[in-house]
Amino acid sequence: MAADGGSSPLQLPCVFSPKSRQYLALCAQDGRLRVWNTDSKTLHQEYVPSAHLSATCVCIAWGPCRTVKEGPQRKKRKSEAVQVEEKADLLAMGTAAGTVLIYSTAKGALHCTLDGGHSAGVNCVQWHPEDSLLYSGSDDTNIVEWDLQTGKTRSKWKADRASVTSLCVSPDGKLLLSAGQIIKMWDLETKEVYRKFTGHSTAVTTLCFATTRPPDSNGLYFLSGAAHDRLLSVWQVREDRKDKNSVVSFTLTDEPQHVDLVTSNSKEEAVRLAVVCKDGQLHLFEHFLNGPCKKPMSPSCTVQMSDTKDSPVPIPLLAAALRADTRTVQLAYGNHLQPVMEKVEINTAERHVCLTRDVQTSLSLSIETAVSKVKTPIVNAKSKVLVPGLPGHQAPIKGISQGSEKRKKDTDTKEVSIAERLGEIDLSSVSAEKGAPKGTASLQTDNFAVLLVQGLESRDANILNKVFQTRKDMVIKKTVARLPLPAVLPLVQELTNRLQGHPFTAVLMVRWLKAVLMHHTSYLASLPDLVTQLGVLYHMIESRVKIFHKLTKLHGKLYLLMTQVATNDSTNTVTDVDHTAKLVYEEESSDEDEASGDEGLPDNDSDNWEEEAMEDDKEEQADEEDDDPDSKTDSKANGEEDMEHGNESEEE
């Protein structure tokens, strides 16, 4: 018996149908459910939920291959059992809005919607193996038991203090495993805790029963995997209740993304396990569960995939399913939007197996079988195709005559390398000064958009530096507006990394970030894991805003201090002014003796000038302290002499 592991809320769900493995159901980044046929390797069905952007699909679980239990048809079920088990029908999808959608592959439409049970996003869904029941765990810390015949909640109970991230029902349908960080085993009849296990330090993303034995025989085992944890832990349910710690650990290269296993029915039968990690590798295990094992178990075989280029690039594996044959494995690899499915025989005697595949040819084969809605225009040899972009970028249009071959040769000879394109772009020169036409601005922004996409894909620092050095707001806005949607999130991550650097570069990066948020807000809001993607940016902006308030206070204090120091320096540079008079001149008006006065005054004035000069020389030779009484007596003496001269003139 095979069991599929639950998928993490942060990962894109991808699950094979049970038993026959005929279908592969997955939800990609666009929120659509796609069901692929593994035999014909084509798209079987596609379903777009009404709220696929606001309520994205978080988890998927296939229902058991069976008919619904009804009274009149109970006798017919045995004769029809073989036909029913060939195909899986119902598919449960948990959404971020808290609803559970039941999709029917037989009808090709939505079967029913289960809502009203959760107040937060659904993280995991699990079917009961026999009864028409479904269990869902949510961020509201509750587990809901749904009755599919009525479409309503049958029971609801609080499972944990934290979010319920994973669920698993035992093969006999009597026990239920739930986990946030602590793993709990529930009795489904009484809805009470049967056992508690230590769990993991992070959120548990995978729960699977490894054996089908009853819990009172010390033979019931299950395994668990958690986010950011490179181990799969195996737990034993013991009668003496000494089962809080794990008994076996399986080592992985990264956190588990998809787990498939064949359960063990007895001690003599080994558990077969296939684990696809987040790094795209597949690990195969085979182990006999008969008590604790101190050393972690390494995989018996590790499978990697790469393309057939000169410098091989790894191809990520999305999911793997074990077949009845011990050597055959059903693989799904490539992209979530266009996966490639294949049955592979793996030589488990080798520890490391590397499979080389040409993904482009396999994709083209599967696309040709599907009906294409895109029509390629028929172009004659004389017609000319105008394509926006850099020279060398040509449209993939095929002509009828031989003229297309000549045109293809011409384009090959005129192909321009990225280094030459960068050399042609002079960011410091302004096109208006050189008298360039108006069309060069749009061409420049188109060049920037193409170069920015190439730089983000190749992570070339030289290309990105050239593009990010521009200071023109209009060029930045048009470049961001021309970006394709898949390049928006890598651009935001690159801007976040550069914002953490020197403040001078951060000033330029803020302009780009502002343009991205203005043009692509609707796309960013549709991403389910936007908070985790922009977490670093949020924390960085928040920390800088907190420091900015303190810096403004410090700036104000420093400004007051500097102005005070500047005013003190200016007052010290001004010398003290000596307010004592250097010359005193007194004029007396006498109408009667005007002539006599005029004759005698110059002589007296000259005497006074000489006396004043003598007084100045004495003062300069004296000490720094001024003798005020002496100056007063001198002035008095001068005044008396003036008066005497005046009297003499009057007497004359």
- pLDDT per residue over 438-494, tens digit each? 444 444 556 788 888 888 888 888 888 888 888 888 888 888 888 888 888 888 888
Counting every residue written for the chain, the total comes to 652
Return the pLDDT at 260. Answer: 93
Cβ proximity of 346 and 303 under 8 Å: yes
- pLDDT per residue over 525-558, tens digit each? 888 777 777 878 888 887 778 788 888 889 999 9
Cβ proximity of 62 and 35 under 8 Å: no
Cβ proximity of 573 and 621 under 8 Å: no
Return the pLDDT at 618. Answer: 56
Exposure of 11 by Cβ count < 10 A (0-12 exposed, 13-18 middle, 19+ buried)? middle
Of the chain, the percentage scoring pLDDT greater than 90 comes to 24
Tell me what the mean pLDDT of segment 265-269 comes to.
84
Return the pLDDT at 489. Answer: 87
Cβ proximity of 176 and 169 under 8 Å: yes
- pLDDT per residue over 378-387, tens digit each? 656 666 655 4
Cβ proximity of 144 and 153 under 8 Å: yes
Return the pLDDT at 180. Answer: 82
Cβ proximity of 588 and 644 under 8 Å: no
Of the chain, the percentage scoring pLDDT greater than 70 comes to 70
Return the pLDDT at 323. Answer: 84
- The strand pair at 301-306 and 271-277 is best described as unpaired
The DSSP call for residue 429 is: S
- What is the model's pTM? 0.55
What does the mean pLDDT of the chain come to?
Answer: 76
Rounded Cα–Cα distance for residues 109 and 114 (Å): 15
Rounded Cα–Cα distance for residues 132 and 150 (Å): 10
Return the pLDDT at 289. Answer: 86
Rounded Cα–Cα distance for residues 260 and 237 (Å): 21
- pLDDT per residue over 271-323, tens digit each? 999 999 999 999 999 988 888 888 899 999 999 999 887 788 889 999 999 98
How would DSSP label each residue in 189-229?
TTTEEEEEE---SS-EEEEEE-B-S-GGGT-EEEEEEETT-
Q: 556: part of which helix (H) or strand (E)?
A: helix 535-573
Cβ proximity of 101 and 47 under 8 Å: no
Beta-bridge partner residues of 570: none
Cβ proximity of 319 and 258 under 8 Å: yes
The DSSP call for residue 68 is: P
- pLDDT per residue over 181-202, tens digit each? 789 999 999 999 998 898 888 8
